């Protein structure tokens, strides 16, 4: 099983981002999703990320995850049609 260093797809709404990772297996590609919230560190003015979501991030996170889910199903369907 191999994992690339970069996600195959990123979906972002505002500061919420889903990264979709592809893992090649004996049975074909499998996908995993990581969800993060981007924020600006006030100490050094740099952008960082957190896996923690606040109340106001939850619905946006759900929408981003829904889009990731749709993308993965489309990819799986395309791969099945190509085989």
- Give the pLDDT confidence score for residue 2 in this predicted structure: 53
Whether the CA torsion 1, 30, 75, 83 is positive or negative: it is positive
pTM of the model: 0.86
Task: Please report which residue ranges of the chain form alpha helices under DSSP H.
Answer: 58-82
pLDDT digit string (tens) for 18-37?
999 999 999 889 999 999 99
Residue 38 lies in domain: 2-82
The residues of the chain scoring below 70 in pLDDT are 1-4
Residue 46 makes CB contacts below 8 A (sequence gap 6+) with: 40
- SS3 label, residue 35: strand
DSSP secondary structure letter of residue 61: H
Domain tally, the chain: 1
pLDDT given at position 27: 86
């Amino acid at each position: 099983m191999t994992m690339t260093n970069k996600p195959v797809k990123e979906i972002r709404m505002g500061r919420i981002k889903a990264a979709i990772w592809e893992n090649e297996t004996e049975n074909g590609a499998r996908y995993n999703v990581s969800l993060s919230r981007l924020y600006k560190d006030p100490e050094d003015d740099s952008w960082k990320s957190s896996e923690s979501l606040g109340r106001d991030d939850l619905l946006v996170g759900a929408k981003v995850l829904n889009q990731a889910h749709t993308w993965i199903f489309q990819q799986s369907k395309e791969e099945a049609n190509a085989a």
